[in-house]
Amino acid sequence: ETGVTQSPTHLIKTRGQQVTLRCSSQSGHNTVSWYQQALGQGPQFIFQYYREEENGRGNFPPRFSGLQFPNYSSELNVNALELDDSALYLCASRRQGGVQETQYFGPGTRLLVL
Amino acid sequence: SQELEQSPQSLIVQEGKNLTINCTSSKTLYGLYWYKQKYGEGLIFLMMLQKGGEEKSHEKITAKLDEKKQQSSLHITASQPSHAGIYLCGAGRSGNTPLVFGKGTRLSVIA
């Protein structure tokens, strides 16, 4: 158990819809990152939040957005869903400090877009 | 941008055999992480290597980072069915940046 939880575990949407995925970080962790993992691929970085501010973004369009709350839980929102958005979405939390900190991953949300 | 290449892509070994998975980076590695993933599930942290020549072990799994910090290997001794899964290497460009991952190595262990 990593102490990172995600909800829902599975989700089916249709093209054009919007979706919100949730993540609860491990206690004491102030940084959360979201990753998209397509089938047979490694996770791809979407964005990162530190103390409720986005402080890093991968090569994903603006329709992917997020929020981090004061209790360090977070959301990933995807608007105008496309078929290629079907993937496993992973969140990872860590305590950002002055040294390399290990990221701990949640179990993921599997999204299917029809 | 940094890229990680893992080899082999997949591996089938008989229970009790040893195996090695490699991860090669296009750039010098700052921190190299090894994770294990059961199909469709989250990533389980195994080990992190940071210094050239560093080697770490946990139970029957040993990971090494070469002196030039551009290649890492993961070695499993006397494999068991519980070792089956997808092994992913990930690297950060600096202390607090997000990780770039390889595509993973799918390991199957047969009795």
B52-74 confidence digits (pLDDT tens)? 889 999 899 999 998 887 899 99
Give the number of C-alpha atoms closer than 13 A to the C-alpha of residue B107, restricted to the C-beta side: 29
Confidence of residue A94 (pLDDT cuts 50, 70, 90): confident
Residues A10-28: what's their mean pLDDT? 94
Please indicate whether residue B24 or residue B2 has the higher confidence score (pLDDT): B24
Per the CB < 8 Å rule, is A108 touching B42?
A: yes
Per the CB < 8 Å rule, is B96 touching A104?
A: no
Count contacts between A and B (CB, < 8 Å): 69
- Phi then psi for residue B50, to 5 deg, are -130, -30
Per the CB < 8 Å rule, is B98 touching A58?
A: yes
Cβ proximity of B89 and B97 under 8 Å: no
Question: Does the pLDDT value for residue B89 go beyond 90?
Answer: yes
A41 touches chain B (CB under 8 A): yes
The distance of B33 to chain A (nearest Cα, Å) reads 8
Which residues, listed in sequence order, are joined to residue B72 by a DSSP beta bridge?
B23, B65
Mean pLDDT across chain B: 90
Per the CB < 8 Å rule, is B48 touching A58?
A: no
- Phi then psi for residue B81, to 5 deg, are -55, -30
Q: What is the pLDDT of residue A51?
A: 87
Question: Does the pLDDT value for residue B105 go beyond 70?
Answer: yes
Query: CA angle, A25 as apex, A34 and A59 as ends, to 5°?
Result: 10
Residues A71-100: what's their mean pLDDT? 88
Distance CA(B92)–CA(B54), nearest Å, equals: 17
Q: Which of B42, B96, B98 sits opposite A105 (nearest CB)?
A: B42
The distance of A39 to chain B (nearest Cα, Å) reads 9
User: B30: closest CA among B103, B100, B88, B102?
Assistant: B100
Closest A-chain CA to B33: A102
Q: What is the pLDDT of residue B95?
A: 55
Percent share of chain A, pLDDT over 70: 95
Q: What is the pLDDT of residue B17?
A: 97
Residues A14-18: what's their mean pLDDT? 98
Question: Does the pLDDT value for residue A97 go beyond 90?
Answer: no
Confidence of residue A80 (pLDDT cuts 50, 70, 90): very high
Phi-psi region of B101 (alpha: psi -120 to 50; beta: other; left: phi over 0): beta
